[in-house]
Amino acid sequence: QLQLQESGPGLVKVSETLSLTCSVSGGSISSSSYYWGWIRQPPGKGLEWIGSIFFTGSTFYSPSLKSRVTISVDTSKDQFSLRLTSVTAADTAVYYCARRQLGGGGAFDIWGQGTMVTVSS
């Protein structure tokens, strides 16, 4: 059974770079049927898509975050990563990694448990 697990620092300072990694187990990230993405949820707010990556390295980013986001993939490790630069308190959130279906409804069908990241001065 495919599982996703986020890892990375839980505390990042204002203006610094947030870096998270998602490890995929029980399956391969090198599938032509799925994208791999990041979604976040600030405290008390809804879900916001950050971006997605295909195993070939093709990326798709939220327009509102595009200038600060980089998503990369390491197929040899079945991992993909998120970098968010110049963070502010508004970037405090639970960050989820998720698998997204390429066809069908384009749904996010498997999610990680999420990791809380707090941005503090």
Partner 1 sequence: DIQMTQSPSSLSASVGDRVTISCRASQTISRYLNWYQHKPGKAPKLLISAAFNLQGGVPSRFSGWGSETDFTLTISSLQPEDFATYYCQQSANSPPTFGQGTKLEIK
Binding stretches for partner 1 (CB under 8 A) = 46-49, 60, 62-63, 96, 98, 100-101, 104-114
State the minimum distance, in angstroms, from the CB of residue 64 to partner 1.
8
| SS (HEC) of 39-76 | EEECCCCCCEEEEEECCCCCEEECCCCCCCEEEEEECC
State the minimum distance, in angstroms, from the CB of residue 46 to partner 1.
5
How far apart are alpha carbons 5 and 28 in whole angstroms? 14
State the minimum distance, in angstroms, from the CB of residue 91 to partner 1.
17
**Paired sense of beta strands 93-101 and 34-41, if any:** antiparallel
Residue with smaller CB distance to partner 1, 14 or 107: 107
Residue with smaller CB distance to partner 1, 10 or 121: 10
Residue with smaller CB distance to partner 1, 63 or 76: 63
Closest CA to 44 of 85, 98, 90, 84: 90
Residue with smaller CB distance to partner 1, 28 or 64: 64
**29: amino acid identity, one letter:** I
State the minimum distance, in angstroms, from the CB of residue 25 to partner 1.
14
Structure tokens at 94: 């639970």
